[in-house]
Amino acid sequence: MTAKKRAKGKRDDNNSYNFSHQMGHILYMAQLTGNLDKKNLVESMPKPERDRYKQAFEILVKKEVLLKAQKRNKKPIFSINPERAEEIKPLISGFVRGTRREQHRRQIPSNPFFHRGPIKDIGHFMGRYDVISHIFDRLRHTEDCSIIGPRAIGKTSLLHFISHNEVVKKYHLDPKKYIFVYYDLQRFGENTQTKDFYYEMFSKTVSQINFNGPLKEEEIKKITKETDNVNKKIGRSLFEISDLETLIGLLSERDYKVVYLFDEFESIANNPNFDFSFYGQLRALSGNPTFQVAFVTASKKSIYTLTFDEEIKTSPFFRYFEDFKLGPMDSEEIGEFFDLAIENGAVFSNKIRTLIEEWSGGHPFLAQLCCDYFFDLVVTGEKIKPSEEEKHLEIFLSRHKKHFAYFWSQVNKKQQTCLWWLASGKRPGSDYEGILEELEQSYLVEKKDGNYRIFSQAFEKFIRDIPFFG
């Protein structure tokens, strides 16, 4: 075979040679925009060229030069694999500009991991699919739910998420027929009377119907006219629970379902004014067969264990709730954080992904902090060398010490000792078995292959560095 033929054979074997122009163009655009939508890109090309661009795109994906990220129910998007960035430079260089897609110039990447309080934008809410779908199964029949989880695990974010119209629709409920009333009970102090609680419930429902309610105009008029009269007649001091019942009755008659989202439910648990009869009354609202009402509570502990009052514990109120425990997220859920990074112009390498999973232990708040940290490093082009991982963890911890100090302050002395043993790589004695189980239940330790370990490497280092113990 002549040298020419050999060269041709090689070119045919290596399909990519024939598409190098298209590949260079695609990668050039990936660099400009941060991420690519395949269909959109192919269709933006002149018709006779489309097939070649499609094939070139497929080669790049097959060769893992372009990485795919797919958020649930969203179109896949592709970004340049950061580990291949150097090697593809020659393909991109000298490329000719001029397609429509190139007009979408890449903005300066903006860090999407800024949340420290509840997530309100549904596009930034990750995971929790199973819990959400079960909650909607119950809300479909206006059944009560109780969300339980430690601090910053995402309870309030979840309450906001499930009440969003788009989400309600996605789970096949009619957002026009469901009225979600969010209610933070934290603001209620020791002197709060149950009437204050109900009046707030009443006025919040009215404002939800007036300002945000997806009701038809004539229905709004009818309901608010009647409730306005109630408002005028009574004011706060003359308000009676029956006024709330009237309002709920009116809505239920028109087939509207009201879902009360009681956040920080523990705030009323130890208030003596909220006694046995209060829970009975509340139950009567959600249990009344002519009312279409459901309660969703959020609290750090099971609502049943919130009160020490034995009589209250016997209230039927507690019997109708199904508990949903929120704990750390799994890899698939944490993967959605990485997709969000890609959408905003930063691709985390596999090493960074592993570090985020290990430092955060799947805790969404810590994952948010870790992603925030690495996002800034990646967009400035900084490489994470293995020898510098410890240094990065130190910088990260020094920025966020107060959050780890909070985890630490939430456990008692015996639990602290047990955590310190684990952090120092020692095995706590058998008398710590019960304590380890308690810590496991609050997600601070996890059991793997029969051994306990601290859920997050960052928290583990924080404990190791505590001078008092060390």
Cβ atoms 98, 29 nearer than 8 A: no
CB-nearer residue toward ligand ATP: 189 or 386: 189
Which spans of this chain sit near Mg ion (rule: CB under 5 A)?
A: 155-156
152 binds, among ligand ATP, Mg ion, none (CB under 5 to 8 A by kind): ligand ATP
Choose from Mg ion, ligand ATP, none: what does 257 bind? Cβ within 5-8 Å by kind.
none
Q: Rounded CA gap, 202 and 195, in Å?
A: 10
Nearer to Mg ion, 156 or 205 (CB): 156
Tell me the residue number closest to ligand ATP, measured at CB. 154
Instruction: Answer with the entry of Mg ion, ligand ATP, none that 400 interacts with (C-beta below 5 to 8 A by kind).
Output: none
Four-point Cα dihedral 128, 131, 137, 143, nearest 10: -130
The entry of Mg ion, ligand ATP, none near residue 325 (CB within 5 to 8 angstroms by kind) is: none
How many CB atoms are closer than 10 A to CB 130? 9
> Residue 213's binding partner, choosing from Mg ion, ligand ATP, none, with beta-carbon cut-off 5 to 8 A by kind?
none
Shortest Å distance, C-beta 150 to Mg ion: 11
Provide CB contacts within 8 A for 58, sequence distance 6+: none
- If phi > 0 it is left, if psi is from -120 to 50 it is alpha, else beta; for residue 37 that is beta
In the bound state with Mg ion, the residue whose beta carbon lies nearer, of 156 and 315, is 156
For residues 241 and 369, which CB has a smaller minimum distance to Mg ion in the complex? 369
CB under 8 Å, gap of 24 or more: what pairs does 211-220 form? 213/179, 214/165, 214/175, 214/176, 214/179, 215/176, 215/256, 219/254
Q: Least CB distance from residue 263 to Mg ion, whole Å?
A: 6
Binding residues for ligand ATP, rule: CB under 6 A, are 115-119, 125-128, 149, 151-157, 364-365, 368
Cβ atoms within 10 Å, residue 238: 10
Of the two residues 116 and 383, which places its CB atom closer to ligand ATP in the complex?
A: 116
Q: Which does 432 bind (CB under 5 to 8 A by kind): Mg ion, ligand ATP, none?
A: none
Contact 324, 303 (CB under 8 A): no
| Residue 22: CB minimum distance to ligand ATP, A | 37
As measured in angstroms, the least distance from the Cβ of 402 to ligand ATP is 13
Burial letters for 205-214: b for 16+ Cβ neighbours within 10 Å, e otherwise? bbebbeeebb
Residue nearest to Mg ion (CB): 156
User: Is the Cβ of residue 256 or residue 262 nearer to ligand ATP in the bound state?
Assistant: 262
Which H or E run contains 451? strand 451-454
- From residue 291, give the alpha-carbon distance in Å to each of 132, 178, 277, 283: 24, 13, 19, 11
Question: Shortest distance, CB of residue 372 to ligand ATP, whole angstroms?
Answer: 9
126 binds, among Mg ion, ligand ATP, none (CB under 5 to 8 A by kind): ligand ATP
Residue 34 or residue 118: which is nearer to ligand ATP going by CB?
118
